[in-house]
Amino acid sequence: MKKIVKVVTIAVAIALVLIAIKNEYARFLMQDASYGMPAVIAEDREYRDNADDQGVTLFIGSSMFRQGLDIYSLEERLDGRNYILSYNGNDPALEYLELEYLIDNDVRIAHLYMDMYTGSMIKSPWVSDDLIFLQTDTEFKLKVWNNIKADAGFSDFWEMFVSSGNDLLLSWPVYNTVASSVFYRGGNISQTASVNGEFQENVANDNNTYVASPYEDLEPGDGFNDEQISYIRKIIKLCRDNEIEITFIETPKYISYGISREYMEMIYKFALILEEENTQYYLSGTSKASIPTDAKLPHLKGTVEFDNSKADYYIDPIHLSPSGRTLYTQELAEILNDRFQDS
């Protein structure tokens, strides 16, 4: 019996050590990847001694940025280093921790562009992309757990600290090669995309007409999750404390989605929060057209015109196709480049 207890004790001890090693050191495997925070950190260290380097122009967001921004177009039209940092379902609570993590690792950020994704504002903090657990240290994961523990259970704790990413680690050489082949500086460079079948069926039935919105009764952030609102404000403050210029960008949604009353109200509420924080942002042409003409939006820097009525430019109502991604980013980059030249 004592022998069995000893064997079990040793096995548990070994397992705990392996778990601790994974949580703290697996991130170093990803330094040579073409995506993710470890790659951003490693690259910035390489440029540390370059006197001409002003830091990275960083785009932090959800799959809206991964599918909506073309890294080649950004590099072609914007000066300096550009990097897209995106995770599925990325919300402000997690984006704040990502930004803080990069700053704590001495990444020099010349300009931060944030995803103005309204869908992330209506839910409680959560993590939808467990790849982030392989890319960060134990302290980061504990901060994430503190954010989500009110809505989480033991199975979520187990997944975060024990089981997440184990399959990727076991197949790391193959996985990393395949994954890195479809990313470049965090941007999705794949020219193929799976189109949502329901989206295709619904396109033919879209009437694409505006609906009335009761803007008069809206308050900044009305209907949004309070924690997510607070993290938007924390992100802005963190940038100001570290002298990082920050701008929010709304990627274009397919027209039937973009002109729905619910979406128009949410994007306007998001804009009102940014106005309260004296923070600049860019809207799509469709969203700008939906906002009351007498609305005072001094921090709206401009609109990015894009034909969001063409279904070929989308794989679903909120994600651009490869062709749509390229065309949109070219237009966006031209506008951003003009702003830099005027400043």
167-194 pLDDT, tens digit each: 888 888 898 888 889 999 999 998 877 6
In a domain, 264, yes or no: yes
- Copy the structure tokens of residue 276: 């309260």
Amino acid at 305: E
CA distances, 294 to each of 243, 249, 289 (Å):
33, 22, 12
> In the block, which residue shows the tokens 């109200």?
265
In a domain, 19, yes or no: no
How remote is the C-alpha of 219 from its chain's centroid?
Answer: 25
The CATH number covering residue 256 comes to 3.40.50.1110
How open is the CA angle 156-134-118, to the nearest 5 degrees? 65
In a domain, 302, yes or no: yes
| Cβ count within 10 A of residue 328 | 24
In a domain, 15, yes or no: no
User: Hey, is 105 helix, strand or coil?
Assistant: coil
Q: Which domain holds residue 316?
A: 33-126+183-342
In a domain, 77, yes or no: yes
DSSP structure string for 187-202:
EE--S--PPPHHHHHH
pLDDT of residue 23: 86
Domain total of the chain: 1
In a domain, 140, yes or no: no
- The residues of the chain scoring below 50 in pLDDT are 209-217, 341, 343
Backbone dihedral region for residue 243 (phi beyond 0: left; psi -120 to 50: alpha; all else: beta): left
In a domain, 322, yes or no: yes
pLDDT of residue 323: 95
323-343 pLDDT, tens digit each: 999 999 999 999 998 755 454
Q: Which residues pair with 222 in a beta bridge?
A: none
- Copy the structure tokens of residue 244: 């990082």
In a domain, 150, yes or no: no
Q: Which residues pair with 187 in a beta bridge?
A: 184
pLDDT of residue 286: 93
pLDDT of residue 185: 96
